[in-house]
Structure 1
Amino acid sequence: MTKPKVLIAFYSRNGSTDILANAIADGAVQEGAEVRLRRARELVGEDVMSQVPGWRENARAMNEKYEAPTEADAEWADAIIFGTPTRFGSISSELKAYIDSLGGIWFQGKLNGKVGSVFGSTSSKHGGNESTLLSIYTPMAHLGLIIVPLGYADPAMFKAGTPYGATHVSARDSLKPDEDHLAVGRFQGRRVTSVARGLQHANTTESAN
């Protein structure tokens, strides 16, 4: 059986979502996945970015590190994990723009039956982590993804994260995800990969019959 292919498509401005994305990637690799990490690109120019301290510099650094997600990445993947910082209690426009760009392959039915999961971060306590993750469930359902939440299926879930996906509160960018939050991320990577592998096996068995 081939390795499950996992796409982690995320947007990060100040690094917290980036760190969670890498923890999820580590967990997926531990479970035997082939992983692509991709960062969505800004929708505004540098004149706007320069008004927020560090935004332009962080964007340049992360864009050098990661390719932008594409339709081809989504078609390649057996599982797609979306990650975003909270923007007024909902998904960032940068990640949403990528999801909206998938309309072509959605129309062709190429996303049906792939595994889908979400993670995110926010600057302030009660800043919308859970509402943001739940808001992404809606377009995931329209895309035809099989949504995989975390529940409380691992001891790490009783220390950090949410049952909907890995999360972090940065306290206005003064805190980075600690080991408890990274453990939830790694669990998410393992869980999504395990489900993707199970679907691979089921589809292979069905084709053989």
Structure 2
Amino acid sequence: MNTNFKPKVLVAFYSRNSSTERLARAIAEGATGEGAEVRLRRAREVISPAAMAQVPGWTERAEQMNARYEAPTEADADWADAIVLGTPTRFGAISSELKAYIDGLGGLWFQGKLNGKVGSVFGATSSLHGGNESTLLSMYTPMAHLGLIIVPLGYADPAMFKAGTPYGATHVSKLDTLEPDADHLDVARFQGRRVATVARALRGGLPEAAAA
């Protein structure tokens, strides 16, 4: 393994009320600390402005986050050695915003350009037992179709015995009254480190053209 290899990590997420955003930033911190180059991207809304206006603050928060993060692109996924996807749960499953991004990767899938890249997932819910684990497990399915090598967290770090799930970092905001605490952010940082470490091990030993 080339220990000097600098893995490229894409963290693509959707967040409406910042819980998933905070986990995404902690994952990026962990990956960066492990020597990775990170692109942090927020998926864009796919519903109408009129529908967004029915939820107080949604439009304003979306504008603020979109000013902070570029939208994820097909080129970002092509660039990355590892793709980490994050979403709030929507009725026990992935948000339509992040799913739309995944669905847009069909061209890369057809060319086989995603085969062998690392894949990992994280998410947040508003309510206790609101679908965190079912959402993360459901995200493994498109990752398998894309040819990603799925990297769960297991219990490979002491942080995992305090928060999160073995499938990925999570948070419960309790109707957006709680931000991710130190324990949950520690899990997210561990996820970033783990993804970067595995990507280095898998991709760092490849010939330069194959790892690009």
TM-score, normalized by length of structure 2?
Answer: 0.95
CA RMSD of aligned residues (A): 1.1
3-state SS of the aligned residue for 2:140? Answer: helix
2:41 match: 38
- Deviations 1:99-153 (CA, angstroms, capped at 9, x unpaired): 0000001100000000000000000000000000000000000000000000000
Tell me the CA shift for residue 46 of structure 1.
1.5
1:197 match: 200
2:11 match: 8
Distance in 2, matches of 1:69 and 1:2, equals: 24
3-state SS of the aligned residue for 1:162? Answer: coil
Aligned pair partner of 1:76 in 76, 79, 82? 79
Q: Which runs of 5+ in 1 are unaligned?
A: none
The answer to whether 1:20 aligns with 2:23 is yes
2:145 match: 142
3-state SS of the aligned residue for 2:194? Answer: helix
Distance in 1, matches of 2:169 and 2:204, equals: 26
3-state SS of the aligned residue for 1:198? Answer: helix
Question: Residues 5 and 204 of structure 2 are in contact (CA less than 8 Å); yes or no, is this contact kept in structure 1?
Answer: no
Distance in 2, matches of 1:91 and 1:44, equals: 15
The letter for the 2-side match of 1:136 is M
The answer to whether 1:49 aligns with 2:57 is no
2:136 match: 133
The letter for the 2-side match of 1:192 is V
The letter for the 2-side match of 1:132 is T
Aligned pair partner of 2:32 in 29, 32, 36? 29
TM-score, normalized by length of structure 1?
Answer: 0.97
The letter for the 1-side match of 2:169 is A
Tell me the CA shift for residue 203 of structure 1.
1.9
Distance in 1, matches of 2:70 and 2:133, equals: 27
Tell me the CA shift for residue 2 of structure 1.
3.5
1:115 match: 118
The letter for the 1-side match of 2:190 is F
The percentage of counterpart residues that share the same residue type is 76
Question: Residues 7 and 204 of structure 2 are in contact (CA less than 8 Å); yes or no, is this contact kept in structure 1?
Answer: no
Distance in 1, matches of 2:204 and 2:8, equals: 14
Question: Residues 119 and 151 of structure 2 are in contact (CA less than 8 Å); yes or no, is this contact kept in structure 1?
Answer: yes
Aligned residues: 206
Tell me the CA shift for residue 200 of structure 1.
2.0
> Which stretch of the first structure deviates more once superposed, 195-204 or 99-108?
195-204
Equivalent residues in 2 for 1:165-180, closer than 5 Å = 165-180=168-183
2:89 match: 86
Q: Which runs of 5+ in 2 are unaligned?
A: none
Question: Residues 109 and 146 of structure 2 are in contact (CA less than 8 Å); yes or no, is this contact kept in structure 1?
Answer: yes
Distance in 2, matches of 1:141 and 1:66, equals: 27
Distance in 1, matches of 2:81 and 2:117, equals: 5
Distance in 2, matches of 1:200 and 1:43, equals: 34
Distance in 2, matches of 1:162 and 1:25, equals: 18
The answer to whether 1:187 aligns with 2:190 is yes
Distance in 2, matches of 1:201 and 1:124, equals: 40
